[in-house]
Structure 1
Amino acid sequence: MTGDVSRSDQRLHELGYKSEFKRDMSLFGVLGISFCAIGILTGMSSAFQTGLFSGGPLGLFWGWNICSIFMMLIAMSLAEICSAYPTMGGLYFWVCKMKPDKPMLGCKFTGWVYSIAMTFTGTSGNLSTALYLASMAEVGTGRILTRVEITAIAWGVNIASGILNTIGTKAIGGMSNFYIWWTLAGTVVLVITLLVKAPTHNSAEFVFTDYENFTGWSNRGFVVLLGFLQAVYTLEGCETAAQVAEEAKRAEFLAPMAVMGSIAGSWLIGLIYMLSLLFSVQSIDSVAATAYALPITQLFYDAVGPKLTIVCLTVVCVSQFMAAATAFTASSRLFYALARDNACPAKRQFMALNRFQAPYVGVWTSVLIGCIISCAYIGSAVAFNAILSSAAIAVMLSYVQPITIRVFWPDESLPEKGPFHLGRWSWPVNVASFCFTIFICVLFVLPTAHPTTALNMNYAIVAIGGVILLVGLGWLFWGRFRFVGPVRTAEEERAAAAGAVEQEDEKKR
């Protein structure tokens, strides 16, 4: 095992960085990080109504499998790069390394946008956790909670995520290990509960062919495509394994395996869970008209009754909290990586590690942003959803940066291949991944309801435009004067060591 750590540290030094984190994570831990970030039970539950109302069971089933295939291709593209460059910065560092002549591309369009995306993703997950807790309270008491009460719960969940991440790598690694078993056991509990307790079960014809449309659009193909957003939203996050690459044993092999393995496992588990939901849903109209904080609560309530609904919501809620905490793990590591390369202000603060080896300033910056954004939910759920929808788009935009480089500069962008590489299939896989990411980015900003009004408009285009404007101004007034590319801290370490030796020799003389 010591040899694996030495090889990983050697590769990190070759890339220009000194080793500053303990390599405590095994394959199971790294896989759990990506698996946890995807949050298959939570993404499927929280966004289930999106597909149910846009295409119905037909769109959900076929959209899930089609999107899973393309998300696996994206995972393969990212895994190949991750194997060659197993560093904490992930997407940001890859772009800088593959296109060093365009520092703005790595710093602005990948590093900063992806950091914001991960922070928003954690915020979204923590609010979803609050909504699950609110739904459990509503089922148990019969009283619908106010937005202020739900926001207060979200603040508490954000702070709890910060505390967990402050404890450090071992805590997050242990949680990610636990998450895998919780997801497997939770899936069994949910599937058996739904299939055994549901009063009636739908036919296979309903599950695989029934078409539903609550959007107002008349074009069936477009409506089904809108349902694809549920699958993509659920499956985002496989790249999170790269954010802990410097904390993993033999990262150049384990991290890419985790990137792909998390998508494969999520595809299968998500399919099983989704089919149990479709066979057990009692009334789609009832789900659409629900007063509960989350529509999936109504589906559970109709199918299994109030007591088992709380059990089902508990299974998903715990999963949601762990997934959200992992997003803050990723954002704090991104802040660290950007600070290390002079790509964000307050370098010393963001690079500071506590005794648990956690970059705590990045952790609590994420928590602070999460608490501030959560306040938007008090005024308008539409405004809050727009901010968080922009996170999903920002993740896809971050994916497309390194994949674009691999498509248009295939030979020069990856001169050093890692243990995992696609060989002659590399370029076709990257082309397919590039086309799908562009398609999804466009689909994410289209209006999801017709006729479009101020209350149902998709404001994601406004939110993502605001993010890009903010990042652009940051580059214009600060980044272009400070950032020139990744800093070679390993050379600084060797120079410091050499200086110490010289000083010792001087003393002896």
Structure 2
Amino acid sequence: MKDDLQASAVSDQRLLDLGYKPEFRREMSLFGVLGISFCAIGVLTGMSSAFQTGLFSGGPLGLFWGWNICSLFMLFIALSLAEICSAYPTMGGLYFWVCKMKPDVPILGFCTGWIYSIAMVFTGTSGNLSVALYIASMAEVGTGRTLTRVEIAGIAWGINIFSGIINTVGTKAIGRMSTFNVWWTLGGTFVLVITLLVKAPAKNSAAFVFTDFENFTGWDSRGFVVLLGFLQAIYTLAGCETAAQVAEEAKRAEILAPLAVVGSIAGSWFIGLAYMLALLFSVQSIASVQATSYAIPIAQLFYDAVGPRLTIMCLVVVTLAQVMAAVTAFTASSRLFYALARDNAFPAKEKYMALNRFQAPYWGVWTSVIIGCIISCAYIGSTIAFNAILSSAAISVMLSYLQPIIIRVFWLDSLPELGPFNLGRWSWPINFASLLFSTFICVLFVLPTAYPVNVLNMNYAIVAVGGLFVIVAINWVTWGRFSFVGPVQTFKAEKS
């Protein structure tokens, strides 16, 4: 108990030094903070939901090598962000870091905060719809009944509201859930891997797993098709920085938060690799997965490999992990709304900074829920529009990563005071590699994924991202530039 109090006091003092009065109880341990990032990454869920992206764009060859290459560069990005997080362990995360490192250009911090917070809401919405799609797949496997879009959207609404209720309970519930998620991910991966490898009627050869090339995209360029498969890994691995959003609720945040940022990527790399190899060795027919009628294609792979009963078990494992991942996205968005409101970068400051008796910023939580429910309605009318909105979330996250990394590369004195976690002489090379990779991925995300391109397979993510930029720009011009000048101190040290 005494050690915990001392650890909290050290972190509170660092927050005071940054000009913020501590408002949250520090109740999260390393496993709690690590679990937040693990939840946000959701390696089981991301791999399962986006597996077909790589399977149809490059096949096993692209999936295996794409996963390892992207994991390495995402680790570089995690190291870059962790170094900044250690110096500035506040819940504003990326937004606050940009403000502190480039205080003379407040529009950069304002745009980063808005884009990233909206991206977190979209990510949570995407996760909640994925839960609905997994449930719809279980229903079809178990009963043969195909749920309508309205029914799937209704389930997504229910999961959105459930996420809001869990987040309203507060820090202790989220911390315990995220800790549980670490063990659920480890145990779930073990169960899925063993089930697939033992029950699959036919096992693929090593040559198939490591060298087989598949192309369902229509593009002729082998290299470009494999690169498109990289998107599966990025969809899965984004989210490591979420630990920063609970930094003000963690003991020794300047150490635990950056360790969680890096550890979540390193752990997800190896857990995801084990799961991916099991999927590749046990997939019975790629054409069958491509032609599936199930709401989520991975259900067809499970069904072909292990039969209907075990398919439902596999889907339950992934679905519960997806629920926890979606809950965590709203945890992050609500904390971002709080941080933005604290610095006059978000309207209704008093409401969005209000905490209930569970220490939850409930206005931010339920704003996320309402937006999520509205977006879920788009799924009823047009899956193309819905997918464009959610694809924009992944691009927005990568663009948000870019902002602090660009500053670290081109303004070498932007981080004058390093935290206990720092990269030393490797800092600039790692930041530079992170910059190149992030830029490359942002371009790749907006390229068309099918050929010939038509109105049905066009990648509309660029339109959605453009719309998001317009919203943020209007907010800055009409309101933000008059109210936001950078982080607002809520505590001032007395002069001696």
TM-score, with length taken from structure 2: 0.99
Q: CA deviation at 1:35?
A: 0.7
Q: 2:179 pairs with 173, 177, 180, which one?
A: 177
Q: CA deviation at 1:382?
A: 1.1
Q: CA deviation at 1:236?
A: 0.2
Name the SS of the counterpart of 1:47 in structure 2.
helix
CA RMSD of aligned residues (A): 0.8
Q: Give the alignment of 1:217-366 within 5 angstroms.
A: 217-366=219-368
Distance 1:245 1:138 in 2: 42
Q: CA deviation at 1:205?
A: 0.2
**2:450 match:** 449
**2:29 match:** 26
Which residue identity lines up with residue 316 of structure 2 in the other structure?
Answer: T
Distance 1:356 1:232 in 2: 34
**2:423 match:** 422
- Residues 395-439 of structure 1, C-alpha deviations (whole Å, 9 max, x = no match): 0000000000000001x2100000010011000000000000000
Q: CA deviation at 1:263?
A: 0.2
Distance 1:478 1:321 in 2: 36
Q: CA deviation at 1:494?
A: 7.0
Larger radius of gyration: 1
**1:196 match:** 198
Name the SS of the counterpart of 2:214 in structure 1.
coil
Q: CA deviation at 1:51?
A: 0.1
- Residues 32-81 of structure 1, C-alpha deviations (whole Å, 9 max, x = no match): 00011000000000000000000000000000000000000000000000
**2:213 match:** 211
Distance 2:414 2:105 in 1: 12
Distance 1:99 1:54 in 2: 40
- Residues 188-224 of structure 1, C-alpha deviations (whole Å, 9 max, x = no match): 1100110011010000000000000000000000000
Which residue identity lines up with residue 479 of structure 1 in the other structure?
Answer: G
**2:488 match:** 487
**1:91 match:** 94
Q: CA deviation at 1:380?
A: 1.1
Name the SS of the counterpart of 2:451 in structure 1.
coil
Name the SS of the counterpart of 1:375 in structure 2.
helix
Pairs aligned (count): 492
**1:136 match:** 138
Distance 1:133 1:349 in 2: 35
Distance 1:420 1:378 in 2: 47
Distance 2:139 2:373 in 1: 22
Name the SS of the counterpart of 1:396 in structure 2.
helix
Distance 1:324 1:192 in 2: 26
Q: CA deviation at 1:144?
A: 1.0
- 1:381 is aligned to 2:383: yes
**1:4 match:** 7
Q: 1:77 pairs with 60, 75, 80, which one?
A: 80
Which residue identity lines up with residue 241 of structure 1 in the other structure?
Answer: A
Distance 1:490 1:275 in 2: 52
Name the SS of the counterpart of 2:491 in structure 1.
helix
- 1:68 is aligned to 2:71: yes
Q: CA deviation at 1:2?
A: 1.1
Distance 2:148 2:484 in 1: 45
TM-score, with length taken from structure 1: 0.96
Name the SS of the counterpart of 1:86 in structure 2.
coil
Distance 1:188 1:230 in 2: 21
Structure 2: unaligned runs, 5 residues or longer: none
**1:466 match:** 467
Distance 1:407 1:210 in 2: 38
- 1:46 is aligned to 2:56: no
Name the SS of the counterpart of 1:127 in structure 2.
helix
Distance 1:433 1:149 in 2: 42
- Residues 14-34 of structure 1, C-alpha deviations (whole Å, 9 max, x = no match): 000000000000111000000
Moved over 4 A (4+): none
Distance 1:129 1:6 in 2: 40
**1:103 match:** 106
